Structure 1
Amino acid sequence: MTQEVPYRRDFELDTTSIDAPIRIRSRGRAVLADPMTNRGTAFTIEQRNTLGLVGLTPTGVTTLENQAKRTYAQFHRASTPLAKYLHLAQLRDRNEVLFYRLLTDHLEEMLPIVYTPTIGEAIERFSNEYNRPRGVFLSIDHPDTMEDSLLNFGLATDEVDLIVVTDSEGILGIGDQGIGGIQIAIGKLSVYTAAAGIHPHRVMPVVLDVGTDNLGLLSSDLYLGERHARIRGERYDEFLDQFVKTVHRVFPNAMLHWEDFGTTNAHRLLTQYRGELCTFNDDIQGTAAVVLAALLAAVKATGMSLEEHRIVIFGAGSAGIGIANLIRDTMIRDGNTTTEADALRQFWAIGINGLYVDDQPELLEFQKPYARPRADVHTWDVRNPHHITLDDVVRHVRPTILLGTSTKGGAFTETIVRLMHEHCERPIIFPLSNPTSRAEATPSNLIKWTDGAALVATGSPFPNVDYKGVRHYIAQSNNALIFPGLGLGVAACNAELITEGMIYAAAKALADMSNEWRHGSSLLPGIDDLRRVSATVALAVASQAEAEGVARTPLTDPIQQIFGRMWQPKYPTIEAI
């Protein structure tokens, strides 16, 4: 049964249909004040008369296309990335359809503005640049207000497909950002809508304000979050558990997307709740899926099977181990590797204390499966057996795949790369850390040091590389190639869980869209093709959900069910009520 929201809306809109009219009950300036009902100078004369708008806008009537042209020019007049971000944020708060039309038309150009890397600065400056509230702010100091806070957002029980939540501890590469983390949830949801057509009125951004250990924020008079150190331990766990149970009760059809939690909590919370409700961690599962997609395309180009490769993970934290887990499971699912132990023998994981070895006490539970037995490295010629470096590992292991998630810029040196290439005809090297300054190597160097043989994907956007008459198109291992389609697929079939099979299906669908057979081709589709990519991924995810028996809505007409859920940023027909 639909749960009523605490107040009457000024409009009615069937958000499950892409062609539904918008039924507006407000009049005059109230119409212009709501970003979903406002269309500014695009209101026709008849609509202006009906809605009490005569005299409240310039007399000329324009089109959505011309509005988009005007706002795009304004966007380019903004002098800095942050100014461009603020311009788009103000546009979204004024006219939601126009915002998404602009973003969809220029997604490749604007994605770095509404999401990484520019959103990092917006998050840091949230309290300084605060303008209009957007999202739900839940305080650990006021847990009794949680359900009311969620309902006050204005969506009924059956109107929420997706909730993106963060506790702001592990924001991008800038760490604990307190209440400013709401911006990462907002940015993520903008991509879900622009890339996959998730309706902007079927999503909810949430920040869990549990305090902050960022002394700069606590010392600022302008900081808008709870002014105390970050709460941890039992009280934190109780608050998180209350949140999960409340969301599952109030919005039982919603997919819960965890974003930028700290490493320890990210793995722990995903493990704890993934079997209870439809939940997903993009930093772990989304990153892993898009890297696996690029890897599957690259492996096909090498002519070797995946389980034959020797894989080094440099920077084996939350994202690195998430990638390793999905590769391991793929070896078992698709290859001749029959046991987990067999698959794990193909990995060498490196952290801040060097190669993971089973006698290291500082390893976290999720890292321990990747620790090598001390006996495996006992005979290695290394300077410090208790801190075995990347150089040591490459010399002794002779890897065929090198993945970087360390944020240690330049760690893949010329010596290491050339040594790897000596023993591997087509080395697969993915410097995945963001931003570009923290990438473990640049594609141009990797191509040069391997005489054009390296198969490369990066975490940040890099220019293509021309080398000896061949243009190498550099794949960006961007999570936006996976998570929007995953969310769309889950919504289309109303999945009750997100399984490892669904994550793998998303990666496989993405990998199948590459042209790995052509030398120099990108290992992944481009960001400019996100609508098609998202629809393809969504179809694979929904089909896998149905095959595994976790789809609550049958796929009677899969393509139409996917396409029919992809909201288009255009002005709907208006009915005055």
Structure 2
Amino acid sequence: MQIASTAPLRDADDLSLSYTPGVARVCEAIADDPSVADDYTWVSNTVAVITDGSAVLGLGDIGPTASLPVMEGKAILFKQFGGVDAIPLALDVRDPDTFVDTVVRLAPSFGGINLEDIAAPRCFEIERALQARVDIPVFHDDQHGTAIVTLAALLNALALTGRAVEDTKVVISGAGAAGVAIARILQASGIRKLAVVDRGGVIHPGRAGLTPVKAEIAYETSEWGRTGQLSDALDGADVFIGVSGGTVGESAVERMADDAIIFALANPTPEVHPDIARRHARVVATGRSDYPNQINNVLAFPGLFRGALDVRASRVTEGMKVAAARALSELVGDALSESYVIPSPFDERVAPAVAGAVRAAARRDGVARR
């Protein structure tokens, strides 16, 4: 990574514009009207990629310093796929309130905040509290990026298998950041028969000892009325989405409905090995690049922030996320098949399509400022 100027600096005249006295005129303009900072500084095209290093990839809690390469990599993807400048920041803090206070103080330098690799349930609290205190988009990619791409692939898998969204029975294994976000975006898209499973079994209103977030999920997903363990929930289910990192035996997935859909997204080892999944499912997706149908967050976050920054959105709404997912799913078009339910990250149509859908949704949802 590097920082590069967009203006020439060849002589004394250039220097007088790029630094003193030229910058003073810009400072005075912003002091008179803070909104013009979006026009005269990097704010309108720059995102902070911020972590505490507590849940890095599959490596776990390795701390802020060791997490920095991932933040740098994320920043490169922002630029490569969305034309968005991003600055990696690793914060040496674990208290959620202190984390939020720190980011709030940094926020004037950025047009958006991408939270990354923060452990659950702290990530939920941080995202919610931070968005309440800043008027720029706050987006936890481990939650919502995964959810957007999962929904996009699922919409196409449902079309391929002839299922109606409202009748589809979905089981999510994992109630961490990704699992909770996937549950909520599926509900926002019309899924009603939904069960979320953790180590203790199906999360339902009658279960004791639930965290506040899991208690919300229990209430929100109570319509289907499933209880018991994962194998019980999978009995007759149409869709399995794994974001847990555990292992699901073949005896459990063979209980699913005909033409099942299995998204086993744990990396590097999927919850259900693709060879096993294909014996019992018509559509199989993983988080890996060496199998078809990779659920890769890079399909979502560059275009989403591109669109949000373009309209100077104050936040990312559920409507913007669903719009991004639908735009992704529509790119597959007539090429839809069991091995192609989601486009490639290198499809040049992806980021523009997502950005356009996000811009339109931000305006519909009343969070756009231009």
TM exceeding 0.5: yes
Is 2:288 the partner of 1:460? yes
Partner in structure 2 of residue 352 of structure 1: 199
Is 2:161 the partner of 1:328? no
Q: Which amino acid aligns with 1:167?
A: D
Contact 2:226 2:233 in 1 (8 A): no
Q: CA deviation at 1:376?
A: 5.0
Partner in structure 2 of residue 164 of structure 1: 49
Find 1:482's aligned residue among 300, 303, 325: 300
SS of aligned partner of 1:462: coil
Compared CA separation, residues 519 and 258, structure 1 to 2 (3 A)? closer
Partner in structure 2 of residue 441 of structure 1: 272
SS of aligned partner of 1:283: helix
Contact 1:428 1:454 in 2 (8 A): yes
Q: Give, in whole Å, the separation in 2 of the partners of 1:23 and 1:292.
A: 47
Partner in structure 2 of residue 175 of structure 1: 60
TM-score by structure 1 length?
Answer: 0.54
Is 2:126 the partner of 1:269? yes
SS of aligned partner of 1:256: strand
SS of aligned partner of 2:149: helix
Contact 2:241 2:263 in 1 (8 A): yes
Any idea what the Cα deviations from partners look like across 1:433-469, whole Å, max 9, x if unmatched? 111x2x112323222x13xx51121112233xxxxxx
Q: CA deviation at 1:491?
A: 2.0
SS of aligned partner of 1:304: coil
Q: CA deviation at 1:418?
A: 2.3
Q: Which amino acid aligns with 1:416?
A: A
Is 2:343 the partner of 1:503? no
Contact 2:274 2:284 in 1 (8 A): yes
Q: CA deviation at 1:552?
A: 2.1
Find 2:117's aligned residue among 260, 276, 279: 260
Q: Give, in whole Å, the separation in 1 of the partners of 2:189 and 2:4.
A: 47
Any idea what the Cα deviations from partners look like across 1:132-179, whole Å, max 9, x if unmatched? xxxxxxxxxxxxxxxxxxxxxxx9564652111001111111111112
Q: Give, in whole Å, the separation in 1 of the partners of 2:119 and 2:11.
A: 44
Partner in structure 2 of residue 416 of structure 1: 252
Contact 1:274 1:497 in 2 (8 A): yes
Q: CA deviation at 1:369?
A: 3.2
SS of aligned partner of 2:234: helix
Q: CA deviation at 1:302?
A: 2.1
Partner in structure 2 of residue 69 of structure 1: none
Partner in structure 1 of residue 364 of structure 2: 547
Q: Give, in whole Å, the separation in 2 of the partners of 1:440 and 1:158.
A: 41
Percent of matched pairs sharing the same residue: 30
Q: Give, in whole Å, the separation in 2 of the partners of 1:308 and 1:296.
A: 13
Q: CA deviation at 1:11?
A: 7.5
Find 1:316's aligned residue among 175, 179, 185: 175
Partner in structure 2 of residue 143 of structure 1: none
SS of aligned partner of 2:284: strand
Find 2:208's aligned residue among 342, 357, 361: 361
Partner in structure 2 of residue 223 of structure 1: none
Partner in structure 2 of residue 514 of structure 1: 332
Q: Give, in whole Å, the separation in 1 of the partners of 2:11 and 2:275.
A: 58
Compared CA separation, residues 266 and 25, structure 1 to 2 (3 A)? farther
Contact 1:301 1:516 in 2 (8 A): no
Q: Give, in whole Å, the separation in 2 of the partners of 1:354 and 1:25.
A: 68
Contact 2:151 2:325 in 1 (8 A): yes
SS of aligned partner of 1:367: helix
Q: CA deviation at 1:365?
A: 1.5
Partner in structure 2 of residue 430 of structure 1: 263
TM-score by structure 2 length?
Answer: 0.83
Partner in structure 2 of residue 407 of structure 1: 245
Q: CA deviation at 1:537?
A: 0.7
Compared CA separation, residues 269 and 416, structure 1 to 2 (3 A)? same
Q: CA deviation at 1:316?
A: 2.1
SS of aligned partner of 2:91: strand
Partner in structure 1 of residue 26 of structure 2: none
Q: Which amino acid aligns with 1:457?
A: A
Contact 2:284 2:338 in 1 (8 A): no
Q: Which runs of 5+ in 2 are unaligned?
A: 13-39
CA RMSD in angstroms, aligned pairs only: 2.5
Q: CA deviation at 1:517?
A: 6.8
Q: CA deviation at 1:304?
A: 2.0
Q: Greater Rg, structure 1 or structure 2?
A: 1
Partner in structure 2 of residue 205 of structure 1: 88
SS of aligned partner of 1:168: coil
Contact 1:459 1:478 in 2 (8 A): yes
Find 2:101's aligned residue among 217, 239, 242: 242
Contact 2:44 2:309 in 1 (8 A): no
Q: Give, in whole Å, the separation in 1 of the partners of 2:226 and 2:264.
A: 25
Partner in structure 2 of residue 195 of structure 1: 81
Q: Give, in whole Å, the separation in 2 of the partners of 1:368 and 1:25.
A: 63
Q: CA deviation at 1:516?
A: 6.9
SS of aligned partner of 1:366: helix
Partner in structure 1 of residue 30 of structure 2: none
Q: Which amino acid aligns with 1:390?
A: L
Aligned length: 335
Q: Which amino acid aligns with 1:172?
A: L
Partner in structure 1 of residue 311 of structure 2: 493
Contact 1:516 1:522 in 2 (8 A): no
Is 2:279 the partner of 1:394? no
SS of aligned partner of 1:476: coil
